[in-house]
């Protein structure tokens, strides 16, 4: 039986500017005593307040989502997906790292204006009442016993990648490519000695181009010798209409495990190159379209 997801009432405990593009919001609240953290790239929903209305009509209970969808547009609080950067259960504190985009959407608008004491709601797994009720669908990174890992993503995936890096076994070997807007957006992160982490600054270049070049170079030297020979044709995915999300099941042994996340068009092309161009088995590549140019999250 899967763990139930619920709405948690929290408030802002701290707002920390990390770099020109990243802001960390620390949330706290007694309700977090019941929050279940699974770590790694754990996703949660943040529920944003409606200006002048707050959370007055936000449903709670087992079917909160169905009730939320049934609300009129004017009183339906926006939902956005974010990664838990860190969780300190004893202190009942949870960190979320936001990308600061200015006044371009409800989440970036909220984080640019939020202050200590402001209320927020998050949706995540509750502490299970039994070991059988484990959180599912909250984290995707699952390399199994892979000999080598690849992590690649843009700034929207950076918090997830950093959380994964800090949880890796010290013997892990691999490469990490994180594309960020500027040189000043590199974040401090700990990684095993055998994992090379490269922060790639766009500095005005087209989104995804420099990260793609780095992954292609990696694939030509590292991944080519790790191909498993999956020759099945890849089904095309219309990233404007379909969710780009595919997570292979963990395997006891595979030479390479790739985890790619960020802008859907870029993620799609990287996955296609690794599978079609290099010959990695599809079961070696987890890929997630976190967002799409010109498209808001539903």
Local confidence pLDDT in tens for the 298 residues of the chain: 455 889 999 999 999 999 999 999 999 999 999 999 888 999 999 999 999 999 999 998 888 999 999 999 999 999 999 999 999 999 999 999 999 987 778 999 999 999 999 999 999 999 876 665 655 557 899 998 899 999 999 999 999 999 999 999 999 999 999 999 999 999 999 999 999 999 999 999 999 999 999 999 999 987 665 555 544 454 554 434 445 788 887 766 788 999 999 999 999 999 999 999 888 888 899 999 999 876 555 4
- The continuous run of DSSP H or E covering 160 comes out as helix 158-165
Report the CATH architecture of 148-291.
3-Layer(aba) Sandwich (3.40)
The DSSP annotation for 197-230 comes to: EEEEE-TTSPTTHHHHHHHHHHHHHTGGGG----
Domain 5-125 in CATH: superfamily?
Translation factors (2.40.30.10)
**CA–CA separation, 162 vs 40, rounded Å?**
9
Every domain of the chain and the residues it spans: 5-125, 148-291
């Amino acid at each position: 039986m899967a763990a139930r997801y619920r709405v948690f009432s929290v408030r802002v405990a701290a707002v920390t500017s990390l770099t020109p593009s990243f802001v960390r919001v620390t949330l706290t609240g007694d309700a977090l005593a019941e929050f279940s953290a699974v770590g790694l790239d754990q996703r949660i929903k943040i529920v944003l307040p409606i200006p002048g209305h707050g959370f007055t009509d936000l449903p709670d209970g087992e079917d909160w989502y169905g009730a939320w969808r049934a609300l009129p547009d004017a009183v339906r609080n926006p939902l956005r997906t974010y990664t838990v950067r860190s969780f300190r259960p004893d202190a009942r504190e949870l960190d979320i790292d936001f990308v600061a985009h200015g006044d371009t959407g409800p989440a970036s608008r909220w984080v640019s204006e939020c202050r200590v004491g402001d209320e927020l709601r998050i949706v995540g797994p509750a502490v299970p009442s039994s070991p059988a009720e484990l959180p599912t669908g909250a984290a995707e990174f699952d390399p199994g016993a892979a000999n080598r890992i690849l992590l690649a993503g843009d700034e929207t995936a950076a918090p997830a990648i950093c959380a994964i890096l800090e949880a890796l076994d010290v013997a892990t070997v691999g490469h990490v490519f994180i594309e960020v807007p500027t040189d000043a957006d590199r974040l401090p992160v700990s990684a095993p000695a055998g994992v090379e982490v490269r922060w790639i600054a766009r500095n005005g270049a087209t989104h995804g181009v420099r990260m793609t070049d780095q992954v292609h170079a990696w694939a030509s030297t590292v991944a080519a010798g790790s191909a498993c020979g999956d020759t099945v044709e890849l089904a095309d995915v219309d990233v404007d209409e379909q969710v780009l999300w595919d997570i292979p099941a963990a395997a006891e042994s595979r030479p390479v495990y790739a985890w790619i996340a960020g802008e859907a068009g870029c993620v799609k092309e990287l996955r296609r190159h690794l599978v079609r161009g290099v010959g990695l088995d599809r079961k070696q590549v987890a890929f997630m379209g976190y967002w799409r140019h010109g498209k808001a999250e539903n």
